[in-house]
Copies of this chain bind each other. A is one copy, B any other.
Amino acid sequence: MNGYRDLRVALLGCGSVGAQVARLILEHGEELAARAGAGLVLAGIAVRDIDAPRDVELPRELFTTDAERLVQGVDIVIELMGGIEPARTLILQALQGGADVVTANKALLAAHGPELEAAAEQVGAQLSYEAAVAAAIPILRPLRESLAGDQITRVMGIVNGSTNYILDRMDRFGDSAEDAARVASELGFLEADPTLDVEGYDAAQKATILASIAFHTEVPVDAVHREGITGITAEQIATAKNAGYVIKLLAIAERITSSDGVDGVSARVYPALIRRDHPLAAVYEGKNAVFVEAEAAGELMFYGAGAGGKETASAVLGDLVSAARRHVVGGPGIAGSLHAELPILPVGEVNTAYQIMLQVRDEPGVLAAIAGILADHGVSAASVEQSVAQGSEGEAALVIGTHISREAKLAATVEALRVADMVLSVTSVLRLEGGE
């Protein structure tokens, strides 16, 4: 007996995160009750196989295979099953039954976020999902609440730990892409099928969530421009390092104005150069960080663990305590508002700078010709340098850094360079983000 009204909590899924959530609820019940203003009673844990091995020893009587029955009549549902179905249907049932829902399911949110938000708003329930982006890092609540009086202009995150681990090894230890991926895989940073990570799908799901919260606008995951890190070579890393940059896979959500004056949102994922003295450059190993720019607040960064059972459980519990408080206080939950309804603009409308690496004929007039191609497209060069890579006899390797320009112009410039006479090959094109 703790003197508080008790709230019943259902847990769906008991993998590495779910097991930690269950443990923390059971072990820190009194402390959670003091913070929530209500006792939190774990009503049950729905799993597919009751006898499967777990990270944590938990009372067997809590387990059930009947998730649908479990979500009936509880106050709060924590969904940690992952995947689209049955998670989506169970969450909708829970919300319709008046329960608050906490989830870490980024794939589901990226695909059906607006539907779930609408269902929550309809009944005045609360849907929260701090753990879905950058695990332990409190980022969604600060974006939604702490910056509620400000205008966010850009969110730029390292939100996939696996790819950050790979790129960091290549940068700091000089690993080849293959070696770095092997080490990442051995350490459990990569899934059996690493495509979701290395092709940027996981980061794109998080970009969708970040963009919708930062800009109050529905951003379908298909509208996120996506490039992965599979093409990144040791030579690109070395060239970047030499020029004072580091390559990071960034998920970017940005307020932009198109060339014909339309205010909208850009959401994109790609590997990009950032300056070594940028706060995101010091995000090592599998860590995550989200860099936020706002009109009044200026530059902010949120840094921490982007994965891990315990770490993710911390964010889930924060949402759980918040949901419990809402039950105690009453009133509707904080709904994800999509009131701004800004258009999603294509990547061609983004302002960025390019670093272009070329193999060219080593003969007089080449630089002038290249400068001419840039000028023809309205792009100005910030720097042109001999690359660290060596070409064969009669060849030179160049690294061109452009000033900031509209992406469409930069892309057209690269196409013109590709077919230019004196250009033997374009060996690398990378964007520069976070300032020249």
Using CB atoms and an 8 Å cutoff, list the residues of chain A in contact with chain B.
20, 24, 28, 31-32, 34-36, 130, 136-138, 141-142, 145-151, 277, 279, 281-282, 284, 294-305, 308, 310-311, 313-318, 320-322, 325, 328-332, 334, 337, 339
C-alpha spacing A147/B24, complex, angstroms: 13
Knowing A277-B284, A310-B298 touch, does A148 contact B321 (C-beta < 8 A)? yes
> Is B304 in contact with A149, judged by CB distance below 8 angstroms?
no
C-alpha spacing A301/B145, complex, angstroms: 18
> Is B149 in contact with A28, judged by CB distance below 8 angstroms?
yes
Partner of A296, one of B300, B310, B321, B337: B310
> Is A136 in contact with B304, judged by CB distance below 8 angstroms?
no
Could you list 26 examples of A-B contacts with CB < 8 Å? A24-B149, A24-B296, A32-B149, A34-B339, A35-B337, A136-B297, A138-B142, A138-B147, A145-B321, A147-B314, A147-B318, A148-B317, A149-B317, A149-B320, A150-B314, A277-B282, A281-B282, A282-B282, A294-B314, A296-B310, A296-B314, A297-B311, A297-B315, A302-B302, A325-B334, A329-B330
> Is B314 in contact with A149, judged by CB distance below 8 angstroms?
yes
Give A302's nearest chain B residue, CB to CB. Answer: B302
Residues of B within 8 A of A141 (CB): 141-142, 145-146
Residues of B within 8 A of A317 (CB): 148-150, 296
> Is A149 in contact with B35, judged by CB distance below 8 angstroms?
yes
Knowing A284-B277, A301-B301, A311-B298 touch, does A146 contact B150 (C-beta < 8 A)? no
Partner of A136, one of B130, B296, B329: B296
